Amino acid sequence: MASRTIENYLKQLWLLEHAVRKPTSGAGRSTGNFVTMGQLSESMGVTPGTTTTMVKAMADAGLARYTPRAGVRLTRAGEKLALHVLRRHRLVELFLVEILAIDWAHAHEEAEELEHVISDTVLLAIDRLLGHPSADPHGDPIPSEAGMPEIQNASNLAEMKGGTEAVIVRIMDQSREFLTFARQNGLVPRAAITIAHINPGAGAMLVHPRGHSPVSVSLAVAAKFMISTKSTEESKTAHRPVAKRRAHRKPSPDA
Amino acid sequence: MASRTIENYLKQLWLLEHAVRKPTSGAGRSTGNFVTMGQLSESMGVTPGTTTTMVKAMADAGLARYTPRAGVRLTRAGEKLALHVLRRHRLVELFLVEILAIDWAHAHEEAEELEHVISDTVLLAIDRLLGHPSADPHGDPIPSEAGMPEIQNASNLAEMKGGTEAVIVRIMDQSREFLTFARQNGLVPRAAITIAHINPGAGAMLVHPRGHSPVSVSLAVAAKFMISTKSTEESKTAHRPVAKRRAHRKPSPDA
DNA sequence: GTGTTGAGTTTGATTGATCAAATGAAATCG
DNA sequence: CGATTTCATTTGATCAATCAAACTCAACAC
Ligand SMILES: [Mn+2]
Ligand SMILES: [Mn+2]
Ligand SMILES: [Mn+2]
Ligand SMILES: [Mn+2]
């Protein structure tokens, strides 16, 4: 039904609606915020006029509500489709990394294409092969058929106090450089870490990932890691241990 | 470079150029025959006018030589691209059947989309995972980077004499019904068979696939199986034994 | 040879996605 | 408030792929 272009707009729209405004403010989820035309055209890499055209088309298709000169917002139908695309994207991404040993960064670009071409049959097979995973290689949650899972009880590393032991569950910055840094220092999803100590004056903390050397990171950088502590550990999300991943190199944006 | 539409035209063109005119005439390969506009538009499922337009575009792109009112033929560049698409198609098809256990017939339709979206990186990973296979699930040869492998020393089942022992290497009819019949009777690629006896008067032969009941097939049907006999066995093509395939059901056309 | 026919080509239109440039509305600043 | 800046919408084009319908060849039939 929806063209692959529309699928891309929908997915991006969902991500923008649920984007955390201040990166340090933690899980600012909820039920979909307004998105301005500027944001959308910017992140889709098209001219504003194109966005207006496409948004109107989505509105006509019942996928979005559009208020001229104000912004857009997905309808329930639009959100459903968006999440389906996101599910395909993230499952494919994990599949590429786990099964085909494709480079972490590269996987995103591949998935960007594959997400539009994976049938339900193949998606099911991939999901089965991976053991019904709940998160992609960056720890981003994989929407189920039912929708996006409620955000896990994850905390922000930057807000923890010294001595805390935790497990990294998600990386909020997917830029090439950042992911390279993170991987090289053992700061990857599922890694167990200890907060060695904090130096508020310097605006930095010393993090010790098990099996790696301690790393000193600024609080700004720390804020890019979502972690799960002992207390939040008993959430229901099935944390199936995936086969070890390898060959992470350059990261990549969103989704 | 070439759009996915062009890729489809190129692939189809290659298949038409190398189509065996009389199905029973065996390996009628060689270096690319003329294709009429009618054949192409027919098999692409578009109107003749569309074909003319697209063929001109391909000619402009240096992918085909076009003689108005006569026909088309791939250039070397066109053939190279066509074979690359075919390689992706067939590797993906095998991948779907072997790794994801997707239904045999369904796999073709999936591959028809995926073939346009698989990067070299992913293709390489798939090829490695499958152990550099030389044939797809129907026994159709998988082109290498270098081009289409020279046709194996395969013979046509219809031309064999009683008592012959052989291995099925390829199935030339990919229609739903035919493949269903073939699978149900154990007449699949790599199956060892014996020609129990021949009844020329009835225009039929009795074929005995190892581990299955003997089947009586007409010579016309027999002609759809390419086989390899003891003598032709020592060809160089690496016949790596693939994990057993399962869940074959409805087949599908070409490629 | 002139007519009929069938295959192939042209022409004109359409659809989806896009841009550049012109225009319009709103917010902000002095 | 009025002017300027910013953001968004319109308008007019373009490009790829397609169709329907009109037209043109060339072969074959008499
Ligand atoms: Mn995409
Ligand atoms: Mn991701
Ligand atoms: Mn295709
Ligand atoms: Mn095939």
Can you tell me the distance from the alpha carbon of A125 to that of A157, in angstroms, rounded to the nearest whole number?
A: 35
**What's this model's pTM, rounded to 2 decimal places?**
0.85
Higher pLDDT, B159 or A12: A12
Can you tell me the distance from the alpha carbon of B141 to that of B150, in angstroms, rounded to the nearest whole number?
A: 9
For A101, nearest residue in chain B (alpha carbons): B125
What band does B247 get if pLDDT is binned at 50, 70 and 90? very low
Residue–nucleotide distance: B255 CA to C6 C1' (Å): 30
Can you tell me the distance from the alpha carbon of A107 to that of A102, in angstroms, rounded to the nearest whole number?
A: 6
* H or E segment and range at residue A60: helix A48-60
Higher pLDDT, A234 or A188: A188
Can you tell me the distance from the alpha carbon of A61 to that of A148, in angstroms, rounded to the nearest whole number?
A: 22
pLDDT of amino acid B176: 72
* H or E segment and range at residue A167: strand A165-171
Contact A121 B99 (CB under 8 A): no
User: Which nucleotide shows the minimum CA-to-C1' distance to residue A72?
Assistant: D8
For B125, nearest residue in chain A (alpha carbons): A100
Tokens representing A221 are: 């950088």
Cβ contact A81:A63 at 8 Å: yes
Residue–nucleotide distance: A48 CA to D11 C1' (Å): 14
pLDDT of amino acid A110: 94
> In whole numbers, what is the pLDDT of chain A averaged over residues?
86
Cβ contact B97:B130 at 8 Å: no
Task: Say which range, A86-90, B150-154, B203-207, has the weakest mean pLDDT.
Answer: B150-154
CA atoms within 13 A on the CB side of A22: 5
Task: Give CATH 1.10.10.10 domain extents, chain A.
Answer: 4-74
Q: Out of A100, A117, A126, whose CB is closest to B117?
A: A117
Positions of chain D reached by protein Cβ under 7 A: 7-12, 16-22, 25-26
Q: Any atom of strand D under 7 A from CB of B45?
A: yes
What band does B88 get if pLDDT is binned at 50, 70 and 90? very high
Can you tell me the distance from the alpha carbon of B178 to that of B198, in angstroms, rounded to the nearest whole number?
A: 21
What is the CATH class of A155-238? mainly beta
> In whole numbers, what is the pLDDT of chain B averaged over residues?
86
For B93, nearest residue in chain A (alpha carbons): A122
SS3 B218: strand
Q: In what order do the strands lie in the sheet with B204-209?
A: B155-156, B225-229, B165-171, B192-199, B204-209, B215-218
CA atoms within 13 A on the CB side of B83: 19
Cβ contact A75:A111 at 8 Å: no
Residue–nucleotide distance: B33 CA to D21 C1' (Å): 32
| Residue to substitute from A7, A104, A113, A115, interface B, most B β-carbons within 10 A | A113
What is the CATH class of B4-74? mainly alpha
Higher pLDDT, B245 or B150: B150
For residue range A152-161, what is the model confidence (pLDDT) as tens digits?
A: 678 899 999 8
Cβ contact B175:B251 at 8 Å: yes
CA gyration radius, chain B? 19
Tell me how crowded residue A157 is: count the other CB atoms within 10 A of its CB: 23
Cα(first)–Cα(last) distance of chain B, in Å?
22
How many A×B Cβ pairs under 8 Å?
41
Q: What percent of chain A has pLDDT over 70?
A: 85
Tokens representing B103 are: 């239904």
Task: Give CATH 2.30.30.90 domain extents, chain B.
Answer: 155-238
Evaluate if residue A149 carries a pLDDT over 50.
Answer: yes
For chain B, positions 106-145, list CB contacts with chain A under 8 A: 106, 110, 113-114, 116-117, 119, 121-122, 125-126, 129
What band does A147 get if pLDDT is binned at 50, 70 and 90? confident
pLDDT of amino acid B184: 87
pLDDT of amino acid B200: 84
What band does A192 get if pLDDT is binned at 50, 70 and 90? very high
